Amino acid sequence: MFKLFKKKTYEKTILTQFVILVLSVCQASGQSDTFNVTEQKTDTPNRILTLFDTDEPLEISLEFDLKHYMEKTAKTEIFDGLLTMLLSEADSMDRKITMKYRGESRYLNCGIPPLEITFKKPVYLDSDSGRVKKIKLVHQCQKGSLYEEYIKREYLVYKLYNVLTDTSFRVRMLKINYIDTKKARKPFTLYGFFIEPKTILAGRTNTLVLKTKSLTQRDMIPETIDRIAIFNYMIANWDWSVPGQHNVDILKSSKYDVSGLGIPVPFDFDLAGVVGADYAIPPPELELENKRERLFAGICRTREVYQKELLMFLSKKEQFYSVINEYPYLSKASKKDITVLLDQFFGQIEKQRSLNAMIDLFMEKCKKL
Protein backbone atom coordinates (compact mmCIF):
# COMPACT_ATOMS: atom_id res chain seq x y z
CA MET A 1 0.00 0.00 0.00
CA PHE A 2 2.78 2.38 0.93
CA LYS A 3 4.69 1.49 -2.27
CA LEU A 4 1.59 2.21 -4.36
CA PHE A 5 1.10 5.58 -2.65
CA LYS A 6 4.78 6.42 -3.13
CA LYS A 7 4.60 5.54 -6.84
CA LYS A 8 1.53 7.77 -7.37
CA THR A 9 3.17 10.64 -5.47
CA TYR A 10 6.29 10.34 -7.64
CA GLU A 11 4.23 10.36 -10.85
CA LYS A 12 2.29 13.40 -9.66
CA THR A 13 5.54 15.22 -8.86
CA ILE A 14 6.93 14.49 -12.33
CA LEU A 15 3.70 15.73 -13.96
CA THR A 16 3.78 18.94 -11.91
CA GLN A 17 7.38 19.62 -12.88
CA PHE A 18 6.54 19.07 -16.56
CA VAL A 19 3.64 21.55 -16.39
CA ILE A 20 5.86 24.14 -14.73
CA LEU A 21 8.49 23.64 -17.41
CA VAL A 22 5.96 24.12 -20.23
CA LEU A 23 4.55 27.27 -18.63
CA SER A 24 8.04 28.66 -18.19
CA VAL A 25 8.86 28.12 -21.85
CA CYS A 26 5.58 29.72 -22.95
CA GLN A 27 6.22 32.73 -20.72
CA ALA A 28 9.75 33.09 -22.04
CA SER A 29 8.58 32.92 -25.63
CA GLY A 30 6.15 35.75 -24.97
CA GLN A 31 8.97 37.94 -23.58
CA SER A 32 11.73 37.10 -26.04
CA ASP A 33 12.28 38.06 -29.68
CA THR A 34 13.54 34.53 -30.29
CA PHE A 35 10.08 32.95 -30.37
CA ASN A 36 7.51 34.58 -32.63
CA VAL A 37 4.05 33.20 -33.19
CA THR A 38 2.07 34.76 -36.05
CA GLU A 39 -1.66 34.66 -35.64
CA GLN A 40 -3.52 33.09 -38.59
CA LYS A 41 -6.23 35.52 -39.71
CA THR A 42 -9.66 34.17 -40.45
CA ASP A 43 -10.86 34.48 -44.05
CA THR A 44 -14.43 35.75 -43.70
CA PRO A 45 -16.81 36.72 -46.54
CA ASN A 46 -17.01 40.38 -45.44
CA ARG A 47 -13.34 40.78 -44.66
CA ILE A 48 -11.97 44.24 -45.49
CA LEU A 49 -8.82 44.38 -47.62
CA THR A 50 -6.38 47.21 -48.20
CA LEU A 51 -4.90 46.80 -51.66
CA PHE A 52 -3.88 50.23 -52.90
CA ASP A 53 -2.25 51.91 -49.90
CA THR A 54 1.13 50.23 -50.39
CA ASP A 55 3.64 49.72 -53.18
CA GLU A 56 4.74 46.33 -51.87
CA PRO A 57 4.12 43.62 -54.50
CA LEU A 58 1.24 41.27 -53.74
CA GLU A 59 1.54 37.62 -54.72
CA ILE A 60 -1.60 36.00 -56.09
CA SER A 61 -2.52 32.73 -57.79
CA LEU A 62 -5.08 32.23 -60.57
CA GLU A 63 -6.41 28.72 -61.19
CA PHE A 64 -8.50 28.25 -64.35
CA ASP A 65 -8.52 26.65 -67.80
CA LEU A 66 -5.34 28.42 -68.84
CA LYS A 67 -4.74 26.58 -72.10
CA HIS A 68 -8.22 27.41 -73.41
CA TYR A 69 -7.86 31.02 -72.27
CA MET A 70 -4.60 31.44 -74.21
CA GLU A 71 -6.22 30.01 -77.35
CA LYS A 72 -8.47 33.13 -77.54
CA THR A 73 -11.29 31.35 -79.34
CA ALA A 74 -13.88 34.08 -78.59
CA LYS A 75 -13.42 37.47 -76.94
CA THR A 76 -16.79 37.23 -75.20
CA GLU A 77 -15.96 33.94 -73.48
CA ILE A 78 -16.27 33.70 -69.69
CA PHE A 79 -13.91 31.57 -67.58
CA ASP A 80 -14.52 30.20 -64.08
CA GLY A 81 -11.58 30.27 -61.73
CA LEU A 82 -10.16 30.62 -58.24
CA LEU A 83 -8.20 33.66 -57.08
CA THR A 84 -5.90 33.31 -54.07
CA MET A 85 -4.30 36.39 -52.53
CA LEU A 86 -1.22 35.61 -50.42
CA LEU A 87 -1.54 38.52 -48.00
CA SER A 88 1.32 37.38 -45.74
CA GLU A 89 3.23 34.22 -44.85
CA ALA A 90 0.41 33.16 -42.55
CA ASP A 91 -2.59 34.76 -44.24
CA SER A 92 -4.31 34.15 -47.56
CA MET A 93 -7.73 34.71 -49.08
CA ASP A 94 -9.50 32.51 -51.65
CA ARG A 95 -12.34 33.75 -53.84
CA LYS A 96 -14.30 32.06 -56.61
CA ILE A 97 -14.31 34.25 -59.68
CA THR A 98 -15.23 34.53 -63.34
CA MET A 99 -12.90 36.17 -65.86
CA LYS A 100 -13.19 37.68 -69.29
CA TYR A 101 -10.81 39.25 -71.76
CA ARG A 102 -10.37 43.04 -71.78
CA GLY A 103 -8.39 45.49 -73.87
CA GLU A 104 -8.31 45.88 -77.64
CA SER A 105 -4.69 46.07 -78.79
CA ARG A 106 -3.55 43.58 -76.17
CA TYR A 107 -6.24 41.07 -77.06
CA LEU A 108 -4.97 41.12 -80.64
CA ASN A 109 -1.25 41.26 -79.91
CA CYS A 110 -0.75 39.38 -76.65
CA GLY A 111 -0.53 35.67 -76.02
CA ILE A 112 -1.81 36.39 -72.51
CA PRO A 113 -4.42 39.19 -72.77
CA PRO A 114 -5.44 41.24 -69.70
CA LEU A 115 -8.46 40.26 -67.63
CA GLU A 116 -11.51 41.67 -65.95
CA ILE A 117 -12.23 39.65 -62.82
CA THR A 118 -15.73 39.34 -61.37
CA PHE A 119 -16.04 38.02 -57.82
CA LYS A 120 -18.93 35.59 -57.38
CA LYS A 121 -19.35 37.10 -53.92
CA PRO A 122 -18.25 40.74 -53.48
CA VAL A 123 -15.04 41.64 -51.67
CA TYR A 124 -14.55 44.75 -49.59
CA LEU A 125 -11.63 47.09 -50.22
CA ASP A 126 -11.08 49.85 -47.64
CA SER A 127 -13.75 50.17 -44.99
CA ASP A 128 -15.07 53.54 -46.22
CA SER A 129 -15.40 52.63 -49.89
CA GLY A 130 -17.83 49.74 -50.02
CA ARG A 131 -18.06 46.50 -51.94
CA VAL A 132 -16.24 45.48 -55.09
CA LYS A 133 -17.71 43.14 -57.66
CA LYS A 134 -15.21 43.65 -60.51
CA ILE A 135 -11.52 44.50 -60.77
CA LYS A 136 -9.20 44.92 -63.76
CA LEU A 137 -5.99 42.93 -63.91
CA VAL A 138 -3.18 43.82 -66.32
CA HIS A 139 -0.25 41.46 -66.75
CA GLN A 140 2.66 40.80 -69.07
CA CYS A 141 1.64 40.49 -72.70
CA GLN A 142 3.96 37.52 -73.13
CA LYS A 143 6.51 35.65 -71.04
CA GLY A 144 10.04 37.03 -70.86
CA SER A 145 12.04 39.92 -69.41
CA LEU A 146 11.15 42.34 -72.23
CA TYR A 147 7.42 42.09 -71.51
CA GLU A 148 8.13 42.27 -67.79
CA GLU A 149 9.82 45.60 -68.52
CA TYR A 150 6.77 46.86 -70.42
CA ILE A 151 4.36 46.08 -67.58
CA LYS A 152 6.61 47.72 -65.00
CA ARG A 153 6.87 50.83 -67.15
CA GLU A 154 3.11 51.01 -67.56
CA TYR A 155 2.66 50.70 -63.79
CA LEU A 156 5.02 53.68 -63.41
CA VAL A 157 2.84 55.78 -65.75
CA TYR A 158 -0.08 55.42 -63.32
CA LYS A 159 2.21 56.63 -60.53
CA LEU A 160 3.18 59.65 -62.62
CA TYR A 161 -0.44 60.59 -63.24
CA ASN A 162 -1.11 60.23 -59.48
CA VAL A 163 1.24 63.22 -59.05
CA LEU A 164 -1.22 65.47 -60.89
CA THR A 165 -4.48 64.60 -59.13
CA ASP A 166 -6.13 62.34 -56.57
CA THR A 167 -8.83 61.69 -59.17
CA SER A 168 -6.65 59.04 -60.75
CA PHE A 169 -6.47 55.27 -60.60
CA ARG A 170 -4.24 53.70 -57.99
CA VAL A 171 -2.50 50.46 -58.89
CA ARG A 172 -0.98 47.52 -56.99
CA MET A 173 1.97 45.54 -58.29
CA LEU A 174 1.35 41.78 -58.51
CA LYS A 175 3.38 38.63 -58.82
CA ILE A 176 0.90 36.27 -60.48
CA ASN A 177 1.11 32.47 -60.43
CA TYR A 178 -0.92 30.90 -63.26
CA ILE A 179 -2.16 27.36 -62.66
CA ASP A 180 -3.95 25.35 -65.34
CA THR A 181 -6.83 23.39 -63.80
CA LYS A 182 -6.79 21.03 -66.79
CA LYS A 183 -3.03 20.46 -66.31
CA ALA A 184 -2.49 21.01 -70.04
CA ARG A 185 0.11 23.71 -69.30
CA LYS A 186 2.81 23.92 -66.68
CA PRO A 187 2.38 26.66 -64.05
CA PHE A 188 4.23 29.92 -64.70
CA THR A 189 4.62 33.32 -63.05
CA LEU A 190 4.22 36.81 -64.52
CA TYR A 191 4.22 40.37 -63.22
CA GLY A 192 1.12 42.52 -63.43
CA PHE A 193 -1.06 44.88 -61.44
CA PHE A 194 -4.58 45.51 -60.21
CA ILE A 195 -6.24 48.76 -61.29
CA GLU A 196 -8.35 50.43 -58.62
CA PRO A 197 -12.07 49.81 -59.37
CA LYS A 198 -13.79 52.99 -60.51
CA THR A 199 -16.44 52.56 -57.82
CA ILE A 200 -13.67 52.73 -55.19
CA LEU A 201 -12.16 55.77 -56.92
CA ALA A 202 -15.58 57.46 -56.97
CA GLY A 203 -16.14 56.73 -53.28
CA ARG A 204 -12.66 58.00 -52.40
CA THR A 205 -13.11 61.28 -54.30
CA ASN A 206 -16.81 61.88 -53.57
CA THR A 207 -17.73 61.56 -57.24
CA LEU A 208 -20.18 59.54 -59.32
CA VAL A 209 -19.47 57.19 -62.23
CA LEU A 210 -20.97 58.25 -65.57
CA LYS A 211 -21.81 55.39 -67.92
CA THR A 212 -22.85 57.27 -71.06
CA LYS A 213 -20.41 56.98 -73.98
CA SER A 214 -21.83 59.83 -76.05
CA LEU A 215 -19.80 62.55 -74.32
CA THR A 216 -17.08 64.64 -75.96
CA GLN A 217 -14.22 66.73 -74.60
CA ARG A 218 -16.62 69.69 -74.51
CA ASP A 219 -18.59 67.86 -71.82
CA MET A 220 -15.57 67.67 -69.46
CA ILE A 221 -14.44 70.15 -66.81
CA PRO A 222 -11.90 72.15 -68.88
CA GLU A 223 -8.83 71.83 -66.65
CA THR A 224 -9.36 68.07 -66.21
CA ILE A 225 -9.47 67.26 -69.93
CA ASP A 226 -6.58 69.65 -70.64
CA ARG A 227 -4.56 67.83 -67.97
CA ILE A 228 -5.13 64.46 -69.65
CA ALA A 229 -4.37 65.81 -73.12
CA ILE A 230 -1.05 67.30 -72.00
CA PHE A 231 -0.12 64.27 -69.89
CA ASN A 232 -0.72 61.93 -72.82
CA TYR A 233 1.31 64.28 -75.00
CA MET A 234 4.14 64.21 -72.44
CA ILE A 235 4.31 60.39 -72.38
CA ALA A 236 3.70 60.09 -76.16
CA ASN A 237 0.36 58.30 -75.83
CA TRP A 238 -2.06 58.64 -78.75
CA ASP A 239 -4.37 55.76 -77.74
CA TRP A 240 -7.23 57.53 -75.94
CA SER A 241 -10.56 59.18 -76.68
CA VAL A 242 -13.44 60.65 -74.67
CA PRO A 243 -16.13 59.63 -77.21
CA GLY A 244 -16.72 55.95 -76.62
CA GLN A 245 -14.68 56.23 -73.41
CA HIS A 246 -11.66 54.60 -75.03
CA ASN A 247 -9.08 54.19 -72.23
CA VAL A 248 -10.89 56.92 -70.31
CA ASP A 249 -13.49 56.58 -67.55
CA ILE A 250 -15.76 59.54 -66.76
CA LEU A 251 -16.75 60.69 -63.28
CA LYS A 252 -19.06 63.51 -62.17
CA SER A 253 -18.15 65.65 -59.18
CA SER A 254 -21.42 65.04 -57.26
CA LYS A 255 -25.16 64.66 -57.70
CA TYR A 256 -25.51 68.31 -56.65
CA ASP A 257 -23.21 69.60 -59.40
CA VAL A 258 -25.53 71.53 -61.71
CA SER A 259 -22.89 71.96 -64.44
CA GLY A 260 -23.14 68.29 -65.43
CA LEU A 261 -19.52 68.37 -66.63
CA GLY A 262 -17.45 65.22 -66.35
CA ILE A 263 -14.02 64.40 -64.95
CA PRO A 264 -12.04 62.09 -67.25
CA VAL A 265 -9.69 59.51 -65.72
CA PRO A 266 -7.19 57.77 -68.04
CA PHE A 267 -6.03 54.14 -67.96
CA ASP A 268 -4.35 51.50 -70.17
CA PHE A 269 -1.11 53.19 -71.25
CA ASP A 270 0.53 50.22 -72.95
CA LEU A 271 0.80 51.95 -76.35
CA ALA A 272 2.53 55.03 -74.91
CA GLY A 273 6.01 55.84 -76.15
CA VAL A 274 7.28 55.92 -72.58
CA VAL A 275 6.39 52.21 -72.33
CA GLY A 276 7.84 51.38 -75.74
CA ALA A 277 6.00 48.10 -76.39
CA ASP A 278 7.06 46.36 -79.59
CA TYR A 279 3.42 46.12 -80.74
CA ALA A 280 2.76 49.87 -80.19
CA ILE A 281 2.65 50.78 -83.87
CA PRO A 282 0.74 54.03 -84.55
CA PRO A 283 -1.96 53.73 -87.24
CA PRO A 284 -0.99 55.33 -90.57
CA GLU A 285 -3.73 57.97 -90.40
CA LEU A 286 -2.00 59.59 -87.40
CA GLU A 287 1.11 60.22 -89.53
CA LEU A 288 3.49 59.46 -86.66
CA GLU A 289 6.94 58.29 -87.69
CA ASN A 290 7.61 56.20 -84.58
CA LYS A 291 6.11 55.15 -81.25
CA ARG A 292 7.87 57.95 -79.32
CA GLU A 293 6.65 60.78 -81.53
CA ARG A 294 4.10 62.93 -79.73
CA LEU A 295 0.56 63.79 -80.81
CA PHE A 296 -1.61 66.46 -79.18
CA ALA A 297 -5.25 65.37 -79.17
CA GLY A 298 -6.77 67.93 -76.81
CA ILE A 299 -9.53 70.43 -77.42
CA CYS A 300 -8.73 73.93 -78.75
CA ARG A 301 -8.05 76.58 -76.10
CA THR A 302 -6.57 80.07 -75.96
CA ARG A 303 -2.81 80.57 -75.75
CA GLU A 304 -3.23 81.74 -72.16
CA VAL A 305 -4.97 78.52 -71.12
CA TYR A 306 -2.32 76.33 -72.73
CA GLN A 307 0.49 78.31 -71.12
CA LYS A 308 -1.12 78.10 -67.68
CA GLU A 309 -1.54 74.31 -67.93
CA LEU A 310 1.97 73.73 -69.28
CA LEU A 311 3.50 75.80 -66.49
CA MET A 312 1.50 73.72 -64.00
CA PHE A 313 3.21 70.62 -65.44
CA LEU A 314 6.57 72.36 -65.13
CA SER A 315 5.85 73.00 -61.43
CA LYS A 316 5.44 69.22 -60.99
CA LYS A 317 8.69 68.33 -62.77
CA GLU A 318 10.69 67.50 -59.65
CA GLN A 319 7.86 65.32 -58.32
CA PHE A 320 7.71 63.40 -61.60
CA TYR A 321 11.46 62.78 -61.56
CA SER A 322 11.38 61.81 -57.89
CA VAL A 323 8.74 59.15 -58.63
CA ILE A 324 10.91 57.79 -61.44
CA ASN A 325 14.16 57.81 -59.47
CA GLU A 326 12.61 56.14 -56.42
CA TYR A 327 10.76 53.52 -58.46
CA PRO A 328 12.20 50.14 -57.38
CA TYR A 329 11.12 47.93 -60.30
CA LEU A 330 13.25 49.30 -63.17
CA SER A 331 16.97 49.42 -63.89
CA LYS A 332 18.96 52.67 -64.01
CA ALA A 333 19.18 52.33 -67.78
CA SER A 334 15.39 52.05 -68.10
CA LYS A 335 14.84 55.04 -65.84
CA LYS A 336 17.33 57.02 -67.91
CA ASP A 337 15.45 56.13 -71.09
CA ILE A 338 12.21 57.41 -69.54
CA THR A 339 13.74 60.64 -68.24
CA VAL A 340 15.24 61.35 -71.68
CA LEU A 341 11.71 61.37 -73.13
CA LEU A 342 10.46 63.63 -70.34
CA ASP A 343 13.52 65.88 -70.69
CA GLN A 344 12.45 66.60 -74.26
CA PHE A 345 9.04 67.74 -73.01
CA PHE A 346 10.21 69.82 -70.05
CA GLY A 347 13.13 71.26 -72.02
CA GLN A 348 10.61 72.88 -74.35
CA ILE A 349 8.49 74.53 -71.68
CA GLU A 350 11.35 75.83 -69.54
CA LYS A 351 12.11 78.64 -72.02
CA GLN A 352 9.49 81.05 -73.29
CA ARG A 353 10.51 80.82 -76.93
CA SER A 354 10.25 77.02 -77.12
CA LEU A 355 7.13 77.15 -74.91
CA ASN A 356 5.52 79.42 -77.49
CA ALA A 357 6.45 76.93 -80.20
CA MET A 358 4.73 74.12 -78.29
CA ILE A 359 1.63 76.27 -77.85
CA ASP A 360 1.66 76.99 -81.60
CA LEU A 361 1.72 73.22 -82.20
CA PHE A 362 -1.19 72.67 -79.81
CA MET A 363 -3.26 75.34 -81.54
CA GLU A 364 -2.53 73.77 -84.92
CA LYS A 365 -3.32 70.16 -83.92
CA CYS A 366 -6.14 70.70 -81.39
CA LYS A 367 -9.66 69.36 -81.88
CA LYS A 368 -12.05 72.11 -82.99
CA LEU A 369 -15.24 70.71 -81.45
Query: Domain 206-365 - what CATH class?
Result: mainly alpha
| Mean pLDDT, all residues of the chain | 88
Long-range (24+ apart) CB contacts under 8 A made by 251-259 are 251/167, 251/198, 251/201, 251/202, 251/205, 251/207, 251/208, 251/209, 251/210, 252/207, 252/208, 252/209, 252/210, 253/206, 253/207, 253/208, 253/221, 254/206, 254/207, 254/208, 255/208, 259/221
Contact 156, 324 (CB under 8 A): yes
Q: Return the pLDDT at 256.
A: 59
Q: 1: pLDDT confidence band, cut at 50, 70 and 90?
A: very low
Q: Is the pLDDT of residue 145 over 50?
A: yes
Query: What number is the average pLDDT over the span 201-220?
Result: 92
Using DSSP bridges, classify how beta strands 131-139 and 188-195 pair: parallel, antiparallel or unpaired.
antiparallel
Q: Residues of CATH 1.10.1070 domain(s) within the chain? A: 206-365
156 or 259: which leads in pLDDT: 156
Query: What number is the average pLDDT over the span 94-112?
Result: 94
Q: Is the pLDDT of residue 331 over 80?
A: yes
Q: Return the pLDDT at 35.
A: 27
Long-range (24+ apart) CB contacts under 8 A made by 97-100 are 99/62, 99/64, 99/69, 100/76
pTM listed for this prediction: 0.86
**Each residue's pLDDT tens digit, 223-267:** 999 999 999 999 999 999 999 999 999 999 876 576 789 999 999
Query: What number is the average pLDDT over the span 310-327?
Result: 98
* 175: Cα separation from own chain's centroid: 12
Q: 30: pLDDT confidence band, cut at 50, 70 and 90?
A: very low
Query: What number is the average pLDDT over the span 158-167?
Result: 99
Q: Is the pLDDT of residue 179 over 50?
A: yes
Query: What number is the average pLDDT over the span 182-200?
Result: 95
Q: Is the pLDDT of residue 364 over 50?
A: yes
**Each residue's pLDDT tens digit, 34-49:** 223 333 455 666 778 8
**Each residue's pLDDT tens digit, 50-90:** 889 888 999 999 999 999 999 999 999 999 999 999 988 88
The rounded percent of the chain whose pLDDT value lies above 70 is 86
Q: 24: pLDDT confidence band, cut at 50, 70 and 90?
A: very low
